Chains A and B, each alone.
Chain A
Amino acid sequence: EVQVVESGGGLVQPGGSLRLSCVASGFTISTYWMSWVRQAPGKGLEWVANIKQDGSEKYYVDSVKGRFTISRDSAKNSLYLQMNSLRLEDTAVYYCVREGRYMDYWGQGTLVTVSS
């Protein structure tokens, strides 16, 4: 069974850092693009970043460029999102998603709250 499970969310002050993790099972992440998608409380979905199968290409939404870094560890079948210089507007549930021509498998999400 295909599954992705996120962890690492929590409460952080503005300007702080947090690292999200996502462990995949039932498939090998090195054969798929992987994405992070977020959803602010009561708001819609927003694509945040993605990474190519071999990690050679990474793309970000403009609002997180220079602050967030997506990475993967094939040996651990895991995806990561390093978030630095966090802002109030980064508060959201962050989903780890398997990506193809569409996003077919989503984790349950991990909540990141940026607040003083």
Chain B
Amino acid sequence: QSALTQPASMSGSPGQSITISCSGTNSDIGSYNYVSWYQQYPGKAPKLMIYDVNKRPSGVSNRFSGSKSGNTASLTISGLQAEDEADYYCCSYAGSSSWVFGGGTKLTVL
């Protein structure tokens, strides 16, 4: 069960768009459409932002969107805002009722 691969850090200016990648394998992202993304502020619990690759829970801004191609999933945040500065984690179902997370991406809004 190896962790999914995310860039350790990314940055963007307010108003810009950024895309965070999440690379997996044929055993996780490549085999299932159960990819989710979580936002986490320091000292706080993670919050679900995207599920089933590209669905948004009620209350999550439509500036957040998700996609998947092959073994790689992506989270795009458009119109960056200061409040988007946080850590982001991808997660995929990995079969046999197990889950695997990405290492996390620290997003800085310049």
CB-CB < 8 A to A46: which residues of B?
Answer: 3, 101
Closest to A52 in B: B97
What range describes how many residues of B lie at the interface? 20 to 34
Count of inter-chain pairs, beta carbons less than 8 A? 62
Give per-residue flags for A14-51: 1 if the beta carbon is below 8 A from chain B beta carbons, else 0: 00000000000000000001010100000011110010
Q: Does A88 contact B (CB under 8 A)?
A: no
B93 touches A101 (CB 8 A): yes
Q: Does B89 contact A (CB under 8 A)?
A: yes
CB-CB < 8 A to B91: which residues of A?
Answer: 45, 47, 102-103
CB-CB < 8 A to A99: which residues of B?
Answer: 99
A102 to B101, CA, bound (A): 11
Q: Does A57 contact B (CB under 8 A)?
A: yes
A108 to B46, CA, bound (A): 9
B52 touches A102 (CB 8 A): yes
Among B34, B48, B99, B104, the residue within 8 A (CB) of A47 is: B99
A103 touches B45 (CB 8 A): no
B52 touches A50 (CB 8 A): no
With A44-B103, A47-B98, A59-B96 already in contact, the answer to whether A103 and B3 are too (CB < 8 A) is no
Q: Does B72 contact A (CB under 8 A)?
A: no
A106 touches B51 (CB 8 A): no
Closest to A63 in B: B1
A108 to B98, CA, bound (A): 22
Give per-residue flags for B37-63: 1 if the beta carbon is below 8 A from chain A beta carbons, else 0: 010000001111001100001000000
Q: Does A11 contact B (CB under 8 A)?
A: no
A108 touches B45 (CB 8 A): yes
B100 touches A102 (CB 8 A): no
With A101-B51, A102-B34, A103-B91 already in contact, the answer to whether A44 and B101 are too (CB < 8 A) is yes
A47 touches B101 (CB 8 A): yes
With A101-B51, A107-B45 already in contact, the answer to whether A59 and B101 are too (CB < 8 A) is no
- On A, residues with C-beta under 8 Å from B are 33, 35, 37, 44-47, 50, 52, 57, 59, 61-62, 95, 99, 101-104, 106-109
